[in-house]
Amino acid sequence: MERRVYLRYKTDDKCCVAKLVTEENVTLKDISMGGIKLQTSQNLAPNRIFRVEIVSGDNETIVPTCEVVWTSLLQSIEENDSSYSIYRVGLKFIKLTSEEKDFLEKHINILSSGSHAGN
C-alpha cells in the first residue's frame, strides 16, 4: 500500500539539479510536491533542516527549506587508500512559498509526461 501523498517523478540533469547549501556533491534522484530524494556523500541525520538549491534546465532556481525524513546507506567505496560512502536521503519540503510551488508544479508537469518513480 502506497503511503505517499504525492507521486514522485524521476529526474535527470536536463530537468533539475540540486545541491545542499553545505555540499556541492549531491544528485537529485526524484521530486514531488512533498519533497525530494537526493544521493550524497553525507550521512544526514533525520529531523535536520537544510536549504536545498534546485535549478531547472532553463536556469530557474528555488532554494526551499527541507527536513531530512530518512537516510539510507547505498554504497561504501574504497579506492586509492581512501574510502567514502554514498547515501540516499529523503527530504520533505517545509513551508513552500508560492514561487517555489509554481516552480515545482511546472517541472513536475514536465516530468509527468514520463512515468513516476519506483524507489
Note whether residue 3 is domain-resident. Answer: no
Domain that holds residue 95: 9-111
Residue 19: what pLDDT? 62
pTM comes to 0.76
List of residues 6+ apart from 89 with CB closer than 8 A:
37, 38, 39, 40, 42, 44, 68, 70, 71, 72
The pLDDT profile of the chain, 119 residues, written as one tens digit per residue, is 445 445 444 555 545 556 665 666 688 888 899 999 999 888 899 999 988 888 887 888 999 999 999 999 999 989 888 998 999 999 999 989 999 999 999 888 887 775 444 44
Could you tell me the CATH number of the domain that includes residue 20? 2.40.10.220
Note whether residue 74 is domain-resident. Answer: yes
How many independent structural domains does the chain possess? Answer: 1
